[in-house]
Amino acid sequence: MEIPDVPKPLLEALRQAAKGRRCALVGGVVRDLLLHRHHEDPWRGLPDLDLVVEGRAADFVARLADALATLFAVPVPLRVQEHGSFGTLELELDLPKEQGGTWLLDIASARHERYPQPAENPVVTLGALDDDLARRDFTVNAMALTLDGAELIDPHGGQRDLSARQLRFLHPHSVSDDPTRLLRAARYSARLGFDLAPDAQVQTDATLSAWPWQWRPGDDPGQAPPALGTRLRMELELLLSREPWRQALAALQRWGALVLLDPQLQADRQWRRRLHWAQRLQVPLLPALLAGARDPLALAERLQLPHRQHKLLAQMLELEHRLQSQPAEQPPSAWCQCLEAPGLSPEAVALLVARGTANGKPLLRWWLRWRHVRSPLTAAELMREEGLRPGPGLGERLRQLRFTALDR
């Protein structure tokens, strides 16, 4: 099998760096090669290769630097970042322009993993290439293409599932061990047009119905295991920022998997409208999604949302509470006094508009028009014409003139 688009000197340097140890392209690059799709980093649009090497990845990278310098006859600029306790290395290579320019490489040591408890972080040890493939999420991502001989390794039937456009888990406890696999499935479903294989849907239904995890909704949100908390949030962020999120969220709902977040979100039929408005009003999509949960703040705490997004949800709920005592019919100035009160932000108003409220029209008018209206006279003009001095009195006079202009 040929590896199109990859410069031959780069392939040769990778082979030399392996030095008899098994080294292979893995994951998405192999899947996309078999689908005849161009594979690249979705953030930077650069060609991207994922490799697994048996042994220490750092030793491989050291040999790779020497091989690149020899084969290209000049030093190849190579920037390295290390991630994780097992030393996964991210490389950025600046090859000569005629060889494709900048390339991204992720070099990982082959690993074996086991889950001591469902949804907890796995215990990981160094392993062989076959071990590394067995720990992956779906059969279509559990294939490898060896650099020495370009042998396709497909121990789990990934080619079969590629042809059927199906996402199949590798073992019967995949969802129980790591429920975030369902969010990754939704990402691939949206990106590739695949669906869960029938046995994968059966496993999903059975696992979610049994809820095999010690933590349950209603327990202390801070005690949720990683795959029901922080890792779930990270997958959601990727889904909403990198993928066709409408299709991905629809797939999660179709599979019954939004219950991982909240049963009310699984039953929610308004999320499309909510996220559509959030996008129009430039509100972050993740808080807009969580705004439809039974208890948005508890869910935000479980997922460990960034402080700014957690605060945004809290302000939206506070605003909703304040509006319960506001009369529906009142002049624009009264709405401005309410919506511009301390402790609220314009984003919170926009988020409540996106979520939906009985007061949606005046809130939207405030967002689009009223908040931008200013006093017809400037501070300098008031000081000159009315003899006011800088201070609270001047600010109050500007506010009065602004409210008068709004209510005309």
168 within 8 A of 199, measured Cβ to Cβ? yes
Residue 86: per-residue pLDDT: 58
> 111 CB contacts (<8 Å, ≥6 apart)?
86, 124, 125, 126, 127, 131, 132, 135
CA gap 403, 392 in Å, rounded: 16
Residue that has been written with the tokens 């908040």 in this structure: 371
139 within 8 A of 156, measured Cβ to Cβ? yes
279 within 8 A of 204, measured Cβ to Cβ? no
Q: Mean pLDDT of all residues in the chain?
A: 92
CA gap 303, 310 in Å, rounded: 10
Kindly state the tokens that stand for 371: 């908040």
Residue 251: per-residue pLDDT: 98
Concatenated DSSP letters of 6-68: S-HHHHHHHHHHHTTS-EEEETHHHHHHHTT---B-TTT--BEEEEEESS-HHHHHHHHHHHH
Half-sphere exposure of 154 (CA within 13 A, CB side): 14
CA gap 113, 123 in Å, rounded: 5
Burial class (CB in 10 A: 0-12, 13-18, 19+), 12: middle
> What tens digit of pLDDT does each residue of 163-172 get?
999 999 999 9
CA gap 235, 303 in Å, rounded: 11
Residue that has been written with the tokens 């020899």 in this structure: 70
Query: pLDDT below 70 — which residues of the chain?
Result: 1-2, 4, 40-45, 84-87
Spacing of C-alpha 367 from chain mean position = 28
CA gap 264, 294 in Å, rounded: 6
Residue that has been written with the tokens 């994780």 in this structure: 84
Helical (H) or strand (E) element with 79: strand 78-83
226 within 8 A of 119, measured Cβ to Cβ? yes
Query: For 378-399, b where at least 16 C-beta lie within 10 A, e where not — what string?
Result: eeeebeeeeebeeeeeeeebbe
Kindly state the tokens that stand for 249: 């969220």
